[in-house]
Amino acid sequence: MIRAIFFAAGLAILSLPALAATQAEAEAAIAAAQAAESAAVAAKAAWTTTETALTQARKALADGKWDEAIAAANEALAQAKLSVEQANEQKASWRNAVFR
């Protein structure tokens, strides 16, 4: 009997909603990704794939799939940061590609 109680309690703990992503977390991830993408657009460095990932994140958010929304938003965030890094790196190195 005691073993059964512990087993049920364990199951209850594992299914706690606190362990899953929340809507607020998904919204925050998308907001962070959007801010990074806006910075990339302002730097004329944005990638189309970043915007695709952001669109996927927004759709997942609308569908109530918080984990998927966060994963896609994190992908967009990473790509937005990389695109700005690429632009900054090229500002320093483009002359090395010039044909002479």
Query: Which of residues 61 and 75 has its CB atom nearest to other proteins in the complex?
Result: 75
Q: Does 80 bind other proteins (CB under 8 A)?
A: no
Residue 32 and residue 54 in contact, taking contact as beta carbons nearer than 8 Å: no
Task: Calculate ∠ Cα 32-84-71, nearest 5°.
Answer: 40
The pattern of x and - marking residues 37 through 66 that bind other proteins according to CB under 8 A reads: ----x--xxxxxxxxxx--x----------
Q: Which region among 1-9, 15-23, 25-33, 84-92 touches other proteins (by CB under 8 A)?
A: 84-92
Shortest Cβ 22–other proteins spacing (Å): 21
Task: Single out the residue of 98, 86, 77, 92 nearest to residue 43, CA to CA.
Answer: 86
CA angle 78, 83, 89 (to 5 degrees): 125
Q: Which is nearer to other proteins, 25 or 47 (CB)?
A: 47
H helix or E strand, kind and range, residue 83: helix 66-93
Site residues for other proteins per CB under 8 A: 41, 44-53, 56, 71-72, 75, 78-79, 82-83, 85-87, 89-100
